Structure 1
């Protein structure tokens, strides 16, 4: 009797989803970069009033420290895929760390608001590449069969950033000075650079592609203009003004033109043909709705605690801690199980938990129990741990190594756009509600930034009823996020509810020669 040896994958059994030592070390590299990039956004948000006082500027001037950073992110993220292919992920990641760290040092040395905004742009050019390149490195190191587990690791700083940022920012500003909002990045950046230099392996080869100049000239300014217009709505408290509509519409036209170009060019800046992948398309739609709702709601929690309840920034951050604790409990479990049984069941369950937790905030009052709100935030955190990263991993798990750079870049473009839209929509809805009640507007503004009030109102007495009115408006605004989260159930219903087949295994099966039995 004769036989032949079967191919290796015929008896390999199910792929191992356990993370080995090297993958965990690579995850540590990426998490350090993510912590720097994400914390910086929330910490700077806490320092807005301080910038106004230190540099003698108004709220709009100080806001450019955040806007400039966001626009730099938007301009550089589309370059991620090309840069990774041209220079290799390790070189690009190390360069990003250096640029971000140098930008942080320069920000701490700023002498006026103009110089601070300029240095924030430099910082953003580095920060914009940290997340997409980090996701590429992590996805390739782990392989498609373990992408859920590694995305769960990366998700921890993404969820804890909005919570830890206000706490850290409050401590640094109160105990030290505003300079440390930026200087805190320097030791982290140095450690991250050395660690990355040691741990990351050199890319085996780079394809040296030519850059799609037409695509770059369409997508980068298009994304930056669109986000600038959308972000400006928070300052103007409406979308219906030329300052918002003109840049947003021009940006949208440029993005739409890029989409047409990407489907017709031989080697576009981003290969949008990946959207022919059904799982990727569903995951991106789900992620867009979820991010708009999540980042919009994230804006409301600290504003309620500070503006209505009169808490400090530090206390507001601590009151949000239950959300992070809940996410930390479910995120590792959801990541591992997503690799084994697919994301569908976890995402649907997570969205239901978020709806239950967020539903409590629809009935906010000026004296609602912190125990009740803390419990609701904890339930939301449980849901977020089951939702955010499984959605992202379901998008990336369907891609082979050659497609990962484009996929990772697209995920980050969508994430940045969705977070800006969510923040803008909620800001405008909240501002419109407060504008409809001058009493509530006085209550909120005087607790957050008295200097923003008209002179005749700065000394106005604030009756308790004003805070009740403001709390009602916050509750009404939360309804927008609840509706958006509920809508997320529709695309989430179509996410895979079984293990996603590895594209690498499928490619291997296609390439392997047939075995002849004898």
Structure 2
């Protein structure tokens, strides 16, 4: 990786640390927020839901915004929006004001997350994608794991308002680094906004995320407040797909790119990875608290070995991806992840802590390694102007996959606990999580194998899958 690309990666990753840690840090504070702001938990839940929905609305328009204002300007503007939202959240005086400021944060984060990948992929030009993703995936892998720990430590020592001040150093450092290290680029085109596509796609993502976020309540998928938004979201997504197929050059997101096998496989696997990652992140801390009697902070600390494992495997996985291709790395990583999930389907309250720690360390190794090939392979063979569309597709796939995983495992857990008790209920849920990972192993077999040494001779060949 050359120096300019490394500098760009550092600038973007430092700025991205704020939104990628923020959502998981705040998740542990909902009960404290409800008590301090004198609001019911159902209202405070919108602190997370509003953020998630704002992010879902923003992601689809990032490609168009980049073409209109330039990547560097958009990145810095989004970081400023997130910074202002964080400061305002720390000063919130009521539950509605906090929800409104979280929506502002979500808008900034929604622009930053796909843009992070786009800017790096465009700068890399197809070189060293594995090692580059090893850098980029650091906050993505560690955020859901270490965020609850940081949040628990802050709540134990200070007010919930400090949860939002944690974002400020990252955001300020990210702005300074972006000013000095991200190359200036102006608008590339005067492309018109696909208004019809926006009206269809953004509400589709919001409907899916909103409906899935309510599955954990009583009634599961049978509640009207759950299945109706999901049904509307699916209908709008189908309508957008049909619209985009007819208006390829002008569509908000070019769905024709899903004909490109590496991108289609990457998006599918990122959907399953999101389901496995976020679904398991629901089960693990809950099982520690319900079955082992730990508090929220203790459950978060038990997850630290998983973060250590993810940190240890990233660099090696990046190098192996560049040498052997995405297929080998993804299959092995998913197999390790699945094998380290199965023990939780066999554990009980009396399982020694050291066994839990070792299994989580191994699970983290698989988790840290699996994200890298999936994030890199989707961009193989794409032109520069196609990369923003691919970034949006993969980001939406992982976001919706995470919501699906949480929703499905929440229902499985509720029904299992009601039918066979807490221990067996959690064990059944972990079998489901392991099953999602097993499906990912099989799907990984369609990923490209070892990359070719010689470059394709024609643009048409460049768009063909790179296979062993």
Q: TM-score range by the shorter chain?
A: over 0.9
Report Cα offsets for 1:102-135 as digits up to 9, x if no partner.
0011111111111111110011000111110111
Quote the offset at 1:415 in angstroms.
1.2
Report if the CA contact (8 A) 1:295-1:423 is conserved: yes
The corresponding residue for 2:136 is 154
The corresponding residue for 1:446 is none
Quote the offset at 1:373 in angstroms.
1.1
The corresponding residue for 2:359 is 376
Unmatched 5+ stretches in structure 2: 463-468
| Counterpart secondary structure, 1:235 | coil
| Counterpart secondary structure, 2:436 | helix
| Alignment match of 1:407 (pick from 384, 390, 411) | 390
Report if the CA contact (8 A) 1:145-1:502 is conserved: no
Equivalents in 2 of 1:505, 1:111: separation in Å?
A: 62
Unmatched 5+ stretches in structure 1: 1-18, 438-468, 511-518
The corresponding residue for 1:320 is 303
Number of residue-to-residue matches in the alignment? 461
The corresponding residue for 2:439 is 487
The corresponding residue for 1:335 is 318
Q: How does 1:157-168 map to 2 (within 5 A)?
A: 157-168=139-150
Q: How does 1:134-149 map to 2 (within 5 A)?
A: 134-149=116-131
Quote the offset at 1:59 in angstroms.
2.1
The corresponding residue for 1:463 is none
Q: Is the aligned partner of 1:346 residue 2:298?
A: no
Quote the offset at 1:508 in angstroms.
11
Quote the offset at 1:383 in angstroms.
1.3
Give 4+ residue runs of structure 1 displaced > 3 Å after superposition.
Answer: 500-510
Relative to 1, partners in 2 of residues 1:218 and 1:376: Cα closer, same or farther, differing over 3 Å?
same
The corresponding residue for 1:4 is none
Deviates further, 406-415 or 376-385: 376-385
Report if the CA contact (8 A) 1:338-1:499 is conserved: no
Q: Is the aligned partner of 1:355 residue 2:347?
A: no
Relative to 1, partners in 2 of residues 1:217 and 1:205: Cα closer, same or farther, differing over 3 Å?
closer
Equivalents in 1 of 2:384, 2:308: separation in Å?
A: 34
Larger radius of gyration: 1
Q: Is the aligned partner of 1:203 residue 2:172?
A: no
Quote the offset at 1:405 in angstroms.
0.7
Report Cα offsets for 1:177-220 as digits up to 9, x if no partner.
10011111122211111111111001265112101000000000
Q: Is the aligned partner of 1:258 residue 2:250?
A: no
Q: Is the aligned partner of 1:91 residue 2:73?
A: yes
| Alignment match of 1:49 (pick from 14, 24, 31) | 31
Q: How does 1:399-438 map to 2 (within 5 A)?
A: 399-436=382-419
Structure 1 vs Structure 2 CA RMSD:
1.8
Deviates further, 487-496 or 42-51: 487-496
Q: TM-score, normalised by structure 2?
A: 0.95
Relative to 1, partners in 2 of residues 1:509 and 1:359: Cα closer, same or farther, differing over 3 Å?
closer
Equivalents in 1 of 2:312, 2:191: separation in Å?
A: 42
| Alignment match of 1:169 (pick from 148, 151, 170) | 151
Equivalents in 2 of 1:509, 1:404: separation in Å?
A: 17
Relative to 1, partners in 2 of residues 1:387 and 1:502: Cα closer, same or farther, differing over 3 Å?
farther
Quote the offset at 1:507 in angstroms.
4.3
Equivalents in 1 of 2:103, 2:224: separation in Å?
A: 25
Q: TM-score, normalised by structure 1?
A: 0.86
Equivalents in 2 of 1:504, 1:104: separation in Å?
A: 47
Quote the offset at 1:501 in angstroms.
7.3
Report if the CA contact (8 A) 1:293-1:481 is conserved: yes
Q: Is the aligned partner of 1:277 residue 2:263?
A: no
Relative to 1, partners in 2 of residues 1:153 and 1:502: Cα closer, same or farther, differing over 3 Å?
farther
